[in-house]
Chain A
Amino acid sequence: MTTRFLHSADWQLGKPFATVGDEVKRHRLQVERVQVIRRMAAVVAERALDFVVVAGDLFDSPHVTKATVSAACEAMGLMRVPVLVIPGNHDHGGPGSIWEQAFFLREREQLAPNLRVLLRGEPVVLEKAVVFPAPLLRRHEAGNPVAWVREAVDDAAVPGDLPRIVVAHGTVQGFGGMEDDEEGGAGVANWIDLASLPEGAVDYVALGDWHGTKQVGPVAWYSGTPEIDRFPKGESNDPGNVLVVEAGRGRVPVVEKVATGRFVWKREAFRFSDDASVELFAGRLDECIGERRDEHLLRLVLEGSLGIDAAGRLGRMLESWEARLARLKLEDRVMIAPSAEEIAQLTQRVEDPLIAAVAAALVGRCGGESEDAAVARLALRELYGRLS
């Protein structure tokens, strides 16, 4: 017998996106994490899938708000098929976790009766599959969460003809543990030892924690997060997908990657060689972002040096981009110092001896990386700005 199901993980509903300053944009990012569930529901319906597994971190924390709980339950209720969820390190099932809160239990019952939270390491027999969940009951599990599966697969109560699916959350061979580089995290933990699973006894391992889509073994996959929530590291990172899996007992699973993400998170870096490169940079940005600017988030690192005027142009340009993009995270290392023409313009003012004297004094101080030099450069910009 075969089964077809949707493998997803790391929804991290309720993520605050605290570093996004604009409240409206922050709200949009939060809402989109619920909207993607609706898009997944469409995939389930279109493909007539049997069930859904969420391999941990459905919520961003063990104490999300009621509003987040209600929105999540309502969206999952739309899937119409069983949704099997294990707690991950973000929403672990320890004492006081969201999974045992009365409000959650009530909302699940009323809005998502198809939702099943697996809080114990024991086989769950479905109509077309047996699921071996490895829930995290604390943020950091010391042992191998799937260790118990080795013996469980030999249990007589486990049907022999149904495909066996392990659901786990953690790190495998160095993957996973992808904490947010802006908001910090606990680093790598919850090591999953895939080798501990008896060879041939398991037909698919649905993994969560690594936010990009990644195959990490013959039958083991990270689905990645369905809606990207951070700036990706490295080219191989491939977030914003869900996996549609066809599994059968003793067969190699057929895995199809389906894109579900809306927001685009990008990294860019640019070094200014001269004042004219500001315009070059403008072209690069247009090219990089293209359409749907408000669905883009950009982490931008700028280096090099610019004259005061050019820096002013760059500033105005960045001001526009900051408003247009869903988020512009700027790491501005550009040294703004007057160009030779600007220095001449400031200091060689026969008609304005006072300004010239002040500018000459500032030019003398603005070299180097010290704070005093930075203040002097800023003072030069202030002075320059007041000339016109």
Chain B
Amino acid sequence: MRLHSLTVRNYRVHKEVTVGFDPSRTVIGGPNESGKSTLAEAAHRVLFLRAKTGGLLQREMQSSVHPGDPEVQLVFECGGVKWELEKRFGGNARGSTQLRGEGGVGLKDAEAETKLGELLGVETAGGGGAAGQLTQLWSHLWVWQGRSGEEPSEHTGPHRDRLVRHLQESGAGAVLQSSNDQRVAGLVAEAYDEVYTPNGKVRAGSKPEMARVKVEEAAAVVVRAREVAERLGRAVDDYGRADREIAEIGARLPKLREERAAVVVRLGDAERFRGEEMSLERAVKDAGVVRAGHEANDRVIREGLEKLGLLAAELAPAEERLVALVAAEAAAHGVAQAGEVAHREAGEAVRRARQGHDMASAAVVVFEKEEVLSGVAAREKEAAALHGQLEGLRLELAQLPAVAASELARLRRLEAESGQAVAALEAMATGVEVVETVEAVRVDGVVLGVGETRILTETGELVVGGGTRVRIRPGGGNSLAEARDRAEAARLGLVRALEASALRDVEHAGAVVERRQLLGHRMEGLEARWKTLGGEKVAGELGRATAERDAARGEWGRRVELMGESGGVGVVEDLAAARAMVEKVRDALGVAEGAEASALRQSERLRGQWDAAVAALSGHRDATAAARQNHRDLETAIRTLEEAHGEAGVRGAAIEAARASEGEAAARLEKVRSLLGGLQPEVLRADAERLERAIGAQEARLREAENLRLVAGDRLTLDGGTDPEAELRSAEARHAAASELMASEERRAAAVKLLHELFSSSREAIDRALVAPLAERIGGYLRCVFGADTEVRVALTEGGIEELQLVRAGETAVPFVGLSGGAREQTAAAVRLALAEILAADYGGCLPVVFDDAFAYADPERIESLQRMLDLAAVRGLQVIVLTCTPADYAGFGAREVRLAGR
């Protein structure tokens, strides 16, 4: 199908316009609102909208400036025939369609619309739903302004079937899965989903999973049933084993008990012999003790008598030496007492010499303190006189006005300022002097005699006689008054300053300042001398010197009084005499102290000699007393023993009798021991223990066996509700059946999975083969724009061309939605051209593709490459019609160009 020309009348902005199309390439240019899109719409509607359609669709086509129904005339070629189509869009009433084939009969209205639909291969739009239908019709060929970047599936879906048919025709092995394929694949997928999760795990609740759960449950039941059956089996075994053991023990136990009884009898004999042995052992031991006692007593008495003789021989010389030591001690005592008396006398002489020395030293101190006191008193007196003078001067100074030298300077400055002000005033005043007059001259009413002068500082009146009055004005203007004010102010300042200091005048002030300075100098001299003498501290020094002198006198008094008892050292007149006295008594004291030390040493030596004599006497006296006591004690002891054990003959007979008794007991003991050894009591005891242990063990085993038999018997007494063996066999059979079912279900699940996987992989292979030619066509267009290495991946689904991906050299695949706005427009255009190219086979090898400002995002460089793509489409047989507001951009396209004028 190829468009030849389009004429529109009374259609929106157009009164009447005719556009002729190039068979391959047409560019319609014009500024905005020149009606380019209107022409694209008119061409579309004349083909696809029935003329009698009314409503909004019809009204929006009507022109607001050009009266009359919109009319569109299109000449096109289809199936090798040239057709003239004319429609008047006048609603149901006036709408009309005419279709006339070249050399054929013209068709009108319904017939024409039907024929048109046949030529276009679509159901044209009309009636109530026309607006909705219209946008879908040939939307792949009409690229409306603003919709050029839409997903290809938006406009390829309706043409999918025809596209598939052509693709199948074009490719040798290219096929598309049938509806039956899809149905079966769907059933398989459903079966797969029933069993498996999307992650490929077996789904909970699915048949294989439930079968597996049942197997586990059945296995658990088998385990439980087996446990019950085995428990029963064990009980049977236990019962039999216990029964056998009870029988064995029943046979063994009586023999053991007999053996034990025999051993017990022999053990009784052994025990009795053992008792006798112990009794005889005691008898032998007792006899031995009696014999040893007699022998010991005899020995002790004889040894005592020998020792007594020795003690008596040692005692006599000790008594003689004791007498000599008593005499020596008395002599030493007398000498020691004489030494002590001599020492006491020497000590008394020393005491007296030290008292004299102390009194003389106290007198020296008294005289020294007296001298200090008199010095301090003289100084205090001079300081008091100076202090009185100072006080007089301070009084005089206080009575003078308190004027400092600086104040005097200020007063003098004020006085000068006052003088200067008066002088200035006087310079401005007018002097009136009567030199000579006949008549009375009065100034301001005061008569002024001849030779008198009157100074006027302000306006005054001079009257001469009775008829002459002269007004005199001194100075000029206000200057006189200001001078007078300043003179008065200066005067008042001086007067106030003098009054403030109670001064008569400045001279008086000068005299006062001079006097104050004189007094100040004198006071400083006096104060320096006073401080040199001690100032305020001298009174304290006087007090302390007085107190120290009084203390020295007190000490001296006490020494004198003490000396009075034992004789004084004489009267002392002055300090020199006192010091001479001290020297004198110090020598006497030294002599006395030497004598006292000598006496002490002699006394101590004598005392030591006496102590040694006492010690020697005491030691010997104690030793002698102890020897005497020993002798007496031994004598008493021997006497007591002889009284108890008799004389020597008696003692010898007793010893012999005891020895005979001991021998007899030992012989009896030997006999009993021989009998006991024959019985082997240790062996008997071991036998008894062994047999006791064996019997105990056997009895314990018997009890255990009886208990085991009881418990096993109890377990074997069943309630009869179930038969454990039958239960086990049933459980095992159920487990086997469940396992069989599980195996079957698992195999079926594996089969479904295999089917599902094969369907998926086979479908992908088929799809790839089918869409290869389409992808190649799209890729051919896009290589014009994006370069030679560009490839396209695409899927053909129920929705049309989908999952479009652009793969450029060295880059990862980019899905359509991931492309930029410009790339989307260009890619979508390539899809449209490829689709149109394939579908053109149904329309005589050509289809028009209308681009209405479809490359809004393309930059100038991309526009260049776009022209290459559009030209390729034209070369491949398509009719490309571009409507643009920038026709100059398409200068390189080589198209027929139609220019629309602006409004």
Chain A residues with a Cβ under 8 A of chain B: 14-16, 18-19, 21, 60-66, 68-69, 94-97, 101-103, 138, 183, 351-355, 357-358, 361-362, 371, 374-376, 378-379, 381-383, 386-387
A378 B240 Cβ-Cβ under 8 A: no
A18 B730 Cβ-Cβ under 8 A: yes
Chain A residues in 8 Å Cβ range of B191? 382
- Given known contacts A63-B725, A354-B762, A382-B191, A21 and B737 CB-to-CB distance under 8 angstroms: yes
Give the distance to chain A from B399, nearest Cβ to Cβ, in Å. Answer: 146
A382 B755 Cβ-Cβ under 8 A: yes
B236 A65 Cβ-Cβ under 8 A: no
Docked Cα-Cα span, A324 to B187, in Å, equals: 33
Docked Cα-Cα span, A138 to B240, in Å, equals: 10
Docked Cα-Cα span, A358 to B240, in Å, equals: 67
A95 B712 Cβ-Cβ under 8 A: yes
Docked Cα-Cα span, A97 to B175, in Å, equals: 77
Interface residues in B, total, Cβ within 8 A? 53
Interface code B177-190, partner A: CB below 8 Å = 1, 0 otherwise? 11011101101100
Docked Cα-Cα span, A212 to B255, in Å, equals: 55
- Given known contacts A353-B177, A354-B759, A362 and B730 CB-to-CB distance under 8 angstroms: no
Docked Cα-Cα span, A183 to B728, in Å, equals: 10
Counting CB contacts under 8 A, is B42 at the interface?
Answer: no
Chain B residues in 8 Å Cβ range of A62? 725
Chain A residues in 8 Å Cβ range of B821? none
Chain B residues in 8 Å Cβ range of A351? 178, 180
Chain B residues with a Cβ under 8 A of chain A: 175-178, 180-182, 184-185, 187-188, 191, 232, 235-236, 239-240, 243, 712-713, 715-718, 720-727, 729-734, 736-737, 747-748, 750-752, 754-755, 758-759, 762-763, 765-766
Contacting residue for B733 out of A19, A60, A103, A383, CB 8 A: A19
Overall SS of chain B's interface: helix
Further contacts, 12 of them, CB under 8 A, given A21-B737, A379-B751: A16-B723, A64-B726, A95-B240, A95-B712, A96-B712, A97-B716, A101-B720, A103-B720, A353-B178, A379-B754, A382-B755, A386-B187
B235 A14 Cβ-Cβ under 8 A: no
Docked Cα-Cα span, A362 to B733, in Å, equals: 35
Chain A residues in 8 Å Cβ range of B763? 354
Residue of B nearest to A353 (CB): B175
Docked Cα-Cα span, A62 to B725, in Å, equals: 9
B752 A379 Cβ-Cβ under 8 A: yes
B235 A96 Cβ-Cβ under 8 A: yes
Residue of B nearest to A64 (CB): B723
Contacting residue for B729 out of A16, A362, A382, A387, CB 8 A: A16
B752 A352 Cβ-Cβ under 8 A: no
Minimum-distance CB pairs A-B, first 7? A96-B716, A66-B720, A18-B733, A354-B181, A95-B239, A379-B751, A378-B751
B726 A355 Cβ-Cβ under 8 A: no
B729 A358 Cβ-Cβ under 8 A: no
Chain A residues in 8 Å Cβ range of B177? 352-354
Give the distance to chain B from A243, nearest Cβ to Cβ, in Å. Answer: 28
A357 B184 Cβ-Cβ under 8 A: no
B730 A382 Cβ-Cβ under 8 A: no
Give the distance to chain A from B171, nearest Cβ to Cβ, in Å. Answer: 12
Docked Cα-Cα span, A18 to B728, in Å, equals: 9
B758 A358 Cβ-Cβ under 8 A: yes
B762 A382 Cβ-Cβ under 8 A: no
- Given known contacts A14-B723, A183-B729, A351-B180, A382 and B232 CB-to-CB distance under 8 angstroms: no
- Given known contacts A96-B713, A96-B715, A376-B754, A69 and B765 CB-to-CB distance under 8 angstroms: no
Chain A residues in 8 Å Cβ range of B758? 357-358, 361-362, 379
Residue of B nearest to A387 (CB): B184
Contacting residue for A14 out of B181, B726, B732, B752, CB 8 A: B726
Q: List 19 A-B contacts (CB under 8 A).
A: A14-B723, A16-B726, A19-B737, A63-B723, A64-B720, A94-B240, A138-B240, A353-B177, A353-B766, A354-B178, A358-B762, A361-B758, A371-B747, A375-B751, A378-B748, A379-B751, A379-B755, A379-B758, A382-B751
Docked Cα-Cα span, A167 to B791, in Å, equals: 96
Give the distance to chain A from B221, nearest Cβ to Cβ, in Å. Answer: 12
B236 A95 Cβ-Cβ under 8 A: yes
Residue of A nearest to B737 (CB): A21
B759 A358 Cβ-Cβ under 8 A: yes
Chain B residues in 8 Å Cβ range of A183? 729, 733
Docked Cα-Cα span, A19 to B740, in Å, equals: 12
Chain B residues in 8 Å Cβ range of A358? 755, 758-759, 762
Give the distance to chain B from A315, nearest Cβ to Cβ, in Å. Answer: 13
Docked Cα-Cα span, A14 to B730, in Å, equals: 12
Interface centre among B178, B182, B713, B721 (most CB of A within 10 A): B178
Contacting residue for A357 out of B240, B713, B732, B762, CB 8 A: B762
A96 B239 Cβ-Cβ under 8 A: yes
